[in-house]
Chain A
Amino acid sequence: MKSERMKAGRLTAWLLPPAFLLIFYFYPLGRVLALSLTEWARKGLSGWNWEIVSGAIRFTFYQAGLSTLITVLLGVPAAYLFSRFQFRGREFLRVAATLPFILPVVVVAAGFNALIGPRGWLNLLLMQVFDLAQAPIAIQNSLAAILLAHVFYNLSIVMRVLSAAWEGIDARLENAARTLGASPARVLREITLPLLRPAFISAILLVFLFDFTSFGVILMMGGPQFTTLEVEIYIQTMQFLNLPLAGLLAMIQLAFSMLIIAALTLSGRSLGVPTMPRVRQENLRRPRRTWEKVFISAMAVFLLTLLVLPLLALTAQSILVPDGSGGWQISLEYFRRLFENPRQSIFYVPPITALRNSQLYALASSALALGLGLLLANAAGGRRRLSRWLNWLVMLPLGTSAVTFGLALFLAFGMSAAAPRWYPLLIPLAHALIALPFVLRLVEPALRAIPPNLRWAAAALGASPRLVWRTVELPIIRRAAVTGFVYAFAISLGEFGATSFLTRPDIPTLPIAVYRYLNLPGALNFGQAMAMAVILLAVCTASMLLVDRLQLTNTAQTDKGELTDHA
């Protein structure tokens, strides 16, 4: 009787996650596919607007390729800096460089807006100095702005993947080559670079994938004239309601992403050598020669300018209010106004409710993601083949862009008459699915690392499987679980792509609110957008510091798992 119930319980635990994926991932995607296919059957090849499709594909590849190239070119010296040198402020720079990883796209857009936008500090300064009537720098809505934001985001990926590998190269290999007579140049060419190649390929593919699936950056930094596959899906859905075309674009998008992910997975296996140093940071040294000091200073200035200045500019815009006589004063005016509900607002509620909505969504979705992640990891139960298969299964959501997610869920559940009432539930579902791969990649290895004899010992001492789970396994993986939860929370809080399909005007999330306010005219709206972006920035920074404190993100074992969502 008791064992019957236990069996049923275990079966539920086994079936729940696949059922969840089936209903909320595969079924909606199937709807998208079915929609495009029926349309295809009706219209044939000629019925589509191929100009839009090929234009979107071309520009997507073009901007992604260009962004990746620039990011890698800048990322290599940055990775070298962090993997070889010990210097003052290294830790601060390292944290600053990891921050973009987790920043919501609206915060980044707001940050660059605050720095180089029409109301940005740089333009204000130039207008003041040269007494101009108009903003001289018009980088907003240009390809340059897109590239800049992509570099901002993905530089940290190149730095992390490369510097982890670089730091991980056993210094003894290079030393061995030197004692065998290899000059420093030959050591670099024949030992270091060949050993770095897999990391290089991973970094390039990873950055390309993120640039390829980027949505928010293109929409907010590029403006209406730049349409990638993602943006085109959004436009076709939201503006023209041409759902079949949106579905076709989504399928094309998905196919390309899967190709990139397959390449990424294959490249990850190509060189399985133990290259972790015995002592962490044993390869680090202080700069000695002049060129080394110059290099470090130049890189530090560059990184601070690129990574920190936009965020400082953003914060300054949120607390500096024009005082009417051409000057500025420090004030919390914009923050205070967030609690008011002026008539001209497009919301019928004070903007600050967006923060509450976002927090509720984030709590729900991170709890859901963690629960599913634990169930999945537990179901895999350390079985190698099963867990590899499982990894593939949840990698699928990772390869699906947020926009495709949004479209699919919108198509599957958002079209019925009762749909508007569903919406608030769909958002946490979408966010949980987006966060699931990250959670699983933290939790599953931690669970697999528990030696089986611990479970056996607990069982031999009389603990039921449930008790083993509660008293042995869960406490051991608690850190990983907490980290996963915080990650999922931050991802959900900043998610823009899928949310933009599923949001209801009267229940906005914070990123949606920032986006809308940024597009409204007027100094007050701009200031309020800045204030909300600062709140998002603060919460995300706090999350990241917490994760960093938990010390789990920092090891090489998870560096490939730290894919984050930019859409």
Chain B
Amino acid sequence: MLEVNRIRKYYEGRLLLDDISFNVAETETVCLLGPSGGGKSTLLRIIAGLEEMEGGQVRWNGEDITGLPAHLRRFGLMFQDYALFPHMSVAQNVAYGLRMQGIGESEIQKRVIEALEMVNMPGFAGRRVTDLSGGEQQRVALARALVARPRLLMLDEPLGALDRALREQLGSELKHVLDHMDIPVIYVTHDQQEAFAFADRLLILHDGRIIQSGAPVQLYEQPESLWLADFLGHRNRLAGQVLRQKPLTVQTAAGTLQCGRAFGSPRTGQAVTLVLPVGAARLAETDGNILPARVRQVQFQGVGYMIDFLLAGESEAAFFFNEPLAVDAQVNLSFAPQAILCYA
């Protein structure tokens, strides 16, 4: 099991990683999610032993491995853009880690072929890596990282360099491979959809700190800060004022709403921001936590409809529905109180 303990790292005079601590359990997949340039890749390199840090510890099964050189850690790292050796064939690339372990030639050949089959690349062994497409390179990089049977696997934006169609296809292949492995995995990405799909547990890295961690559903439903709510895709916001504290009731220009989830202990009279998740709205005939709204635009998205509403007081919001609504239709949107997030 991996333990990361109070890691601090400066980059060009700026504190890039500030007191980062977390654990990764035996067969767990942890996603490090955060905006680009936030030090996620640096953190991976520190764990791999490729980069020095200003403070902190990396432990493996209780043993301090902070000073252990990278090549003795047996931590697999799959790089963004894959870092395949351009002067070696596909097979030589995949075999590299096995050769380093001093494994016999016939065993190496057997395992390289197995690994290439696992990533659906049989028959590519003799090819030059410079002739491969992006998706093929990704698969070779995965095979190269896995064939050496690392104790821990780290993936740095493994789907980042692929176009959308390939992303979906290779993403599900990758998930299949990762689900069938019994080693801890750290998966770095800046894409929340990808993180939701892969993670057993999410760590949100922002401004050099882990600001929140938990299961994907929990983070999506209860982001503890407005920044995180925004980062996870909650775009509907209403400014308001607290009318009552119990039950928490907020008055906005669009209407008065009761909220189930409050962050930062709002007091009566205080100005607050409400966040309405896109899936939170229902059509209501009658009363109960209702906002009157007019349909402005309907976008068909395949599995359903994203509908833009004009609310009272000139504010706007978009919600997801399974059925379309007529443009300019006047409706009442009702919300379950526990779906509404309130930030002081």
Interface, chain A (partner B; CB < 8 A): 170, 172-173, 175-184, 186, 191, 194-195, 271-273, 275, 288
Contact = CB atoms under 8 A, between A and B. Distances in A.
A179 B81 contact: no
Contact of B86 (A184, A186, A273): A273
7 contacts: A175-B45, A175-B70, A175-B77, A176-B77, A176-B85, A181-B72, A273-B130
B303 interface: no
Contacts of A183: 69, 71
B148 A181 contact: yes
A304 to B, nearest CB: 28
Given A172-B79, A183-B71, A271-B87, A177 B50 contact: no
A170 B83 contact: yes
Interface of B: 45, 48-50, 52, 69-77, 79-81, 83, 85-87, 96-97, 100-101, 130, 144-145, 148, 150
Contact of A178 (B52, B71, B145, B150): B71
B92 to A, nearest CB: 10
Contacts of B81: 170, 172
A173 B83 contact: yes
Contact of A173 (B69, B85, B100): B85
Given A180-B144, A182-B71, A182-B100, A175 B130 contact: no
A173 B150 CA distance: 18
Nearest to B141: A176
A175 B85 contact: no
Contact of A177 (B52, B69, B96): B96
A181 B100 contact: yes
Given A179-B77, A183-B69, A186-B100, 14 more contacts: A170-B81, A172-B79, A177-B96, A178-B48, A178-B71, A179-B75, A179-B76, A180-B71, A181-B72, A181-B97, A181-B101, A181-B148, A184-B69, A191-B85
Contacts of A273: 86-87, 130
Nearest to B45: A175
A186 B70 CA distance: 13
A168 B329 CA distance: 60
Most chain B beta carbons < 10 A, residue from A186, A195, A271, A273: A273
B79 A176 contact: yes
A448 to B, nearest CB: 23
Contacts of A178: 48-50, 69-71
A173 B144 CA distance: 13
A195 B86 contact: yes
A275 to B, nearest CB: 8
B335 to A, nearest CB: 45
Contacts of B87: 194-195, 271, 273
B186 to A, nearest CB: 13
Most chain A beta carbons < 10 A, residue from B77, B80, B86, B96: B86
B86 A271 contact: yes
Contacts of A288: 52
Given A179-B71, A181-B71, A172 B83 contact: yes
B185 to A, nearest CB: 14
A175 B83 contact: yes
Contacts of A186: 100
Most chain A beta carbons < 10 A, residue from B45, B81, B85: B85
Which 10 residue pairs across A and B have the least CB separation, nearest first? A181-B100, A180-B97, A172-B83, A273-B86, A178-B70, A176-B83, A179-B77, A172-B79, A194-B87, A175-B50
Nearest to B154: A179
A180 B100 contact: yes
A275 B49 CA distance: 23
A175 B48 contact: yes
Contacts of A191: 85
B73 A179 contact: yes
Nearest to A178: B70
Contacts of B97: 180-181
Contact of A180 (B45, B52, B86, B96): B96
Contacts of A170: 81, 83
A179 B48 contact: yes
Most chain A beta carbons < 10 A, residue from B49, B83, B150: B83
Contacts of B45: 175
Nearest to B102: A181
A10 B109 CA distance: 62
Nearest to A172: B83
A396 B108 CA distance: 51
Contacts of B150: 179
Contacts of A182: 71, 96, 100
A173 B49 CA distance: 15
A180 B73 CA distance: 9
Contacts of A176: 77, 79, 83, 85, 144
A176 B140 CA distance: 13
A299 B45 CA distance: 30
Contacts of A275: 86
A172 B71 CA distance: 14
A177 B211 CA distance: 33
A186 B77 CA distance: 18
Most chain B beta carbons < 10 A, residue from A181, A184, A195, A275: A181
Contacts of B130: 272-273
A279 to B, nearest CB: 10
A170 B79 CA distance: 11
A543 to B, nearest CB: 33
Nearest to B79: A172
Contacts of B74: 181
A171 to B, nearest CB: 9
B2 to A, nearest CB: 14
Contacts of B101: 181
Nearest to A197: B87
A508 B81 CA distance: 58
A178 B100 CA distance: 10
A183 B73 CA distance: 11
A190 to B, nearest CB: 8
A271 B88 CA distance: 12
A179 B97 CA distance: 8
Nearest to A285: B52
Contacts of B148: 180-181
A392 B175 CA distance: 52
A183 B100 CA distance: 9
A324 B77 CA distance: 74
Contacts of B49: 178
A96 B77 CA distance: 40
B96 A179 contact: no
